Amino acid sequence: MRTGTLAPWNQLDDQAVITCRALAMDAVQKVGNGHPGTAMALAPVAYTLFQRIMKHDPSNPDWLGRDRFVLSAGHSSLTLYIQLFLAGYGLELKDLQEFRSAGSKTPGHPEYGHTKGVEITTGPLGSGISSAIGMAMAARYEKGLFDPQGKTKLFDHNIWVIASDGDLQEGVSGEASSIAGLQQLGNLKVIYDDNRISIEGDTHVAFNEDVSARYKAYGWHVLEVATKSDGDVDQKALEAALIKAEDFVDAPTIIRLKTVIAWPAPNARGTAESHGSALGAAEVEATKVLLGLDPNESFVVPAAVLTHSRLAQVRGAQMRNTWESEFASWQSANPKEAKLLQRLQSKALPDNFDKSIPVFEPGKDIATRAASGKVINAIAAVLPEFWGGSADLAGSNNTSIENGGSFLPSSSEMKGANPFGRIIHFGIREHAMGAIVNGIALHGLTKPFAGTFLVFSDYMRGAVRLAALMDIPSTFVWTHDSIGLGEDGPTHQPVEHIAALRLIPNFAMIRPADANETAIAWREVIKRRKPIGFALSRQNLPVVDRLQCGSAEGTAKGAYVICPAKGKPDVLLIATGSEVHVAIAGAKILEEQGINVQVVSAPCLEWFAEQNEAYKESVLPAAIKARVSIEAGVGIGWRELVGSTGEIISLDHFGASASASHLFKEFGFTPEAVASAAKRSIANSK
């Protein structure tokens, strides 16, 4: 809830908005491409947020107490860049002049980690608003870590979003908005830019539903703001709606704001052309005349406007200083919570973290999904910041935290409901789940994970790619990793998915061979703080006897010798996941025939690629040309490791509905097939 009154809107505020519109035109006109129309129309919206509404400090973009701003309509990046310039985040006029140019701080779409003040990478429509919902969830969970009794407002802040028609057309935003309503995320405030224009023209050719009614049905507060009679944004009505939205704390709010794209351009306003193209010199000049500007000047920022706008720094510093004073008192009164917060901010782990990772004894068979579940609970016991859930598959994914409570609003009547619970029920909404996990990770203090079947990672790929692009610690737990899931058949058997996910730059896929590899992998995932996906088995797998084989610690290096040769190897067998056991059995057949075999378990090829050349040589000696790879998926990617004379045992077609044992035998994943392939490779390499 807002305290105090806002200063009256004055002539300098009007001039600042005019300046924003001119800068949007000039920046796109200079580079020759971009999206000027939305940035022109939304200039008063973004300016009002950054100068009058949001809690933020330009001199400290990472201030814990700040509101977050998400430009879900990422194509209108100038909407954000111009405000970061005016408010004093470090962007300067030359950065706007270099818009969309090589090496600039102002790329075509906002990029997290590249430009100060950008909270999230946006561009793929629907992703921003969906991840913002994750941020809002994270804020509530963190409130539970530091102030569960609600004694302070230190950890209360809002997530502000500007979303477009395109954002709300994408299915992911519908999935996520449904969750937001159910979760009653009162800290989420969305401004929907309803300009009714997209690249193909009037959005009603494809999108004419009653958005307000839809969001009311989701359980959101809905406010509507019409344009003024001349088509401009009604700033007074908008500001009143923003203030009213701040007062709504029992549910998320969407402000449906009517705008005219490219306002006030005399010919381009309201047209599809202004969405994604420069207006042209003549139209820019004509628009500047309407705005009372010199049509022959570009990138002009009056000194009085800049001085006035930079008062955002003074306002921000005052808010932060007040917050820090209250924070110091909170620290003294809450030493345990303060110590936890300090650890989370420093990205440190408890001293006993490594000891918490379980060790599994040989002699039993356990599915790696089940082992993962045990490790998740062991980690949760020492890391209160660790939480997550699945897309209605917790029992199958083994992603529940025992006695963790269901993350649900306090008004929920569901069993186990807890507003600060550790178990997130995403429902059957995989894409939203991925985007929400990204938002939680971006919020900064907690460690989220999410699970579903590997085959459904297809629904999540956009979110996974963005996690990799932003280099954030989103963890995806995908189970039922191959034809080993059996009778559910080819619709659920992910033959191409691991290879496809490995193609994503900066993303690591982990497919452990047994319970102990799973445990070591989880330990590394927590320590590395990188975007990572697990591929875990449905079927039980033997726990490798480490007294007879290499230590599971090799998992941390991505690949290691799990069964060394008795002399110089004649052939290398390289396998992942459940096929490692097939490779070990195949090696025994070969050894009985006098062939020396080195078996390599390669749970994570990306981690292995990071190792130095000496280590790689110790695992895969270059002199040994006879090699066989074994993985129950498509063979793409393995030729690089096995070479031209190597053999690839793979599955380059869809599976079938039958038992796992039948399918492995039918499709050639047997010790005998491995032995035969090894002999062929030995013969070919001579």
Type of residue numbered 577 = G
**Options 430, 524, 631, 647, the catalytic residue:** 430
> By C-alpha distance, which of 79, 157, 175, 74 is closest to 120?
74
> By C-alpha distance, which of 565, 559, 564, 568 is closest to 629?
559
DSSP string, 12-41: HHHHHHHHHHHHHHHHHHHHT-S-HHHHHH
Pairing of strands 253-258, 188-194: parallel
Residues 6+ apart with CB under 8 A from 437: 134, 388, 448, 449, 450, 463, 467, 474, 475, 476
Residue 278 DSSP class: -
Pairing of strands 201-202, 197-198: antiparallel
φ, ψ (nearest 5 deg) of residue 99? -50, 130
> By C-alpha distance, which of 35, 126, 83 is closest to 431?
126
Alpha helices in 183-234 (DSSP H): 211-218
Q: How many helices (H) and strands (E) does the chain have?
A: 28, 22
- Dist CA 222 CA 213 (whole Å): 8
Tokens coding 461: 């790929």
Which residues of 57-149 form beta strands (DSSP E)?
A: 68-71
Q: Hey, which residues does 649 pair with through a beta bridge?
A: 630
Residues 6+ apart with CB under 8 A from 269: 37, 231, 260, 261, 262, 263
Give the dihedral sign, CA 408/411/416/420.
Answer: positive
Integer CA distances (angstroms), 510 to 215, 358, 518, in order: 39, 18, 9
Pairing of strands 447-453, 386-390: parallel
Tokens coding 75: 């194509």
Contacts from 661-670 at CB under 8 Å and sequence distance 24+? 663/483, 663/484, 663/486, 664/483, 664/484, 664/582, 664/632, 667/483, 667/632, 669/579, 669/582, 669/630, 669/632, 670/582, 670/586
Q: Hey, which residues does 164 pair with through a beta bridge?
A: 193
φ, ψ (nearest 5 deg) of residue 448? -95, 155
> By C-alpha distance, which of 631, 535, 533, 531 is closest to 581?
631
Q: 187 and 140 in contact (C-beta within 8 Å)?
A: yes
Question: Active-site residue 98, yes or no?
Answer: no
φ, ψ (nearest 5 deg) of residue 280? 100, 150
- Dist CA 193 CA 1 (whole Å): 24
- Dist CA 326 CA 226 (whole Å): 40
Catalytic positions are 430
